[in-house]
Amino acid sequence: MAKVPPMPLEEAQKHLLALASPLPVEHVDIEGAVGRYLAEPLLARRTQPAADLSAMDGYAVTGKDMAGPWEIVGESAAGHPFAGEVGAGQAVQVSTGALLPAGAGAVILQEDLARTDHRIELTGDAPVPSHKHIRRCGLDFMQGSEVIAAGSLIGPADAALAIAAGHKHLPVCRMPRVAVIDSGDELAADPEACEPHQIPASNGAMLLAMARKLPVDAWRSGPVADTLDAIVGAFEGASHADVIVTSGGASVGEHDLVRPALEAWGASLDFWRVAIKPGKPILVARRDRPLGPQIVIGLPGNPVSSFVTAYHFMLPLLRRMLGARYALPMQIVTKLGAPIRANGGRREFVRGVWNGQNVVPHILQDSGALSALAASNVMIDREAFAPEGKEGDDVRVFLLQNGGIA
């Protein structure tokens, strides 16, 4: 049988996201919804502003006679509206955000007026147009209009908008339950007690931290020994998880037992190997159960490979389950601040440092080099067989939450 070539990145991501659907909807208070994704379009329950308001401190007049003078007949302050109506030759003192009195059609700034007792006269320029300093009813939104689209990430401004639109609770998807499993006989659980033949088990902590950047219920276990029974037991221990993420053991070596363990556990392989560097030996599997399907992502054991594949697969999957409108990471275009070598036959994600204007590739690109990964704040996206890049060339990059400003 012919060997199946590694799958292109976008095709693999499409396969993965097709395995999952947004989780069931729950309603939480506004403060608890910040950082989550809106599950349904949010419609305004009220109009904002609900009436015409003054946008500045000044005096409200009819707007029909802008020459003056005017007699002051009252005041409208924020939260304390003027009860009467403004007539010809009359003015009502208004503060920013105050309800515009009935009959008013213009607000003249107080610095453009001179006041004597209960009279004001124009000393500066009248507003042009006359309604310049008025916030009309419905300027922000109207009752029944969509104020936040489904799938939007709810941030501080969205929380304020939802409250202004008359909401106390928001619909969001249930948080995914995520189990992160380290596997490998070479891993030491205690980094302070690591023998020469061992390496500290750092991938689990890294993947857990990445997952927890999203609103998920995540935990880690391991290191798990390189035996079939131990790995199957780890899967059994995570049977209540929606997503299981493993690190190590996803390749085809004698001690790479994740694939046979998945089969023994009852999961079916969806795809294996993606044409990217680092991170080629990634696998994705699915296991059906009464509570809903479980998805398993088997990541490579090299730490940079594990990070890159988690970035392109684990995080998009979790965003998909959380109901995000845009599950895949977005890119920006910047300039090279230093040359970059020609690329080989796989799409490569080169770690680099971006200063807001240009990006410089890190000198160390080994898939085991955590120091270079931690120092980098972008991944430069290099297509297969991309030619050498020169300083000043445009490049596409993915932003990371490492190394400072990004």
Closest CA to 396 of 376, 385, 380: 380
Fold of the CATH domain 331-399:
Beta-clip (2.40.340)
Instruction: Name, in order, each residue with C-beta under 8 angstroms of 11's C-beta and a sequence gap of 6 or more.
Output: none
pLDDT at 29: 97
Half-sphere exposure of 177 (CA within 13 A, CB side): 11
pLDDT average, residue stretch 53-72 = 94
**pLDDT tens figures, 302-342:** 999 999 999 999 999 999 999 999 999 999 999 999 999 99
pLDDT at 218: 98
Cα separation, 321 vs 193, in Å, equals: 38
Place of tokens 């409108």: 325
Token digits of residue 254? 């004698």
Fold of the CATH domain 9-24+174-321:
Molybdenum Cofactor Biosythetic Enzyme; Chain A (3.40.980)
pLDDT average, residue stretch 80-105 = 96
pLDDT at 188: 85
Cα separation, 82 vs 87, in Å, equals: 13
Per-residue confidence band for 257, with pLDDT thresholds at 50, 70 and 90: confident
Per-residue confidence band for 185, with pLDDT thresholds at 50, 70 and 90: confident
For 115-161, give the DSSP string: EETTEEEE-SPPPSSTTTTEE-TTSSB-TTSEEE-TT-B--HHHHHH
pLDDT at 406 over 50: no
Instruction: Name, in order, each residue with C-beta under 8 angstroms of 21's C-beta and a sequence gap of 6 or more.
Output: 320, 321
Between CA 163 and CA 171, with CA 166 as vertex, the angle to 5 degrees is 75
343 near 385, Cβ under 8 Å? yes
pLDDT at 343 over 50: yes
Domain ranges in the chain are: 9-24+174-321, 28-44+143-173, 53-135, 331-399
pLDDT at 240: 94
Per-residue confidence band for 255, with pLDDT thresholds at 50, 70 and 90: low
pLDDT at 161: 98
Q: Which CATH number fits domain 53-135: 3.10.290.10, 3.40.630.30, 3.40.50.720, 2.170.190.11?
A: 2.170.190.11
pLDDT at 121 over 90: yes
Prediction pTM value? 0.91
Closest CA to 41 of 174, 163, 160, 162: 162
Cα separation, 103 vs 40, in Å, equals: 40
- Give the bridge partners for 269, in sequence order: 285
Q: Which of 124-128, 246-250, 390-394 has the lowest mean pLDDT?
A: 246-250
| Percent of the chain topping pLDDT 70 | 97
Q: Which CATH number fits domain 28-44+143-173: 3.40.640.10, 3.90.105.10, 3.40.50.2000, 3.40.50.150?
A: 3.90.105.10
**pLDDT tens figures, 10-58:** 999 999 999 999 999 999 999 999 999 999 999 999 999 999 999 999 9
Cα separation, 365 vs 278, in Å, equals: 9
Q: What is the mean pLDDT of the chain?
A: 94
Cα separation, 403 vs 375, in Å, equals: 5
Cα separation, 165 vs 371, in Å, equals: 47
Closest CA to 17 of 297, 232, 254: 297
4 Rama class: left (phi>0) / alpha (psi -120 to 50) / beta: beta
pLDDT average, residue stretch 244-255 = 76
pLDDT at 1 over 70: no
**pLDDT tens figures, 282-298:** 999 999 988 889 999 99
| Dihedral angle of Cα 329, 281, 14, 1, to the nearest 10 degrees | 160
Q: Please state whether beta strands 347-354 and 276-277 pair in parallel, antiparallel, or not at all (unpaired).
A: parallel
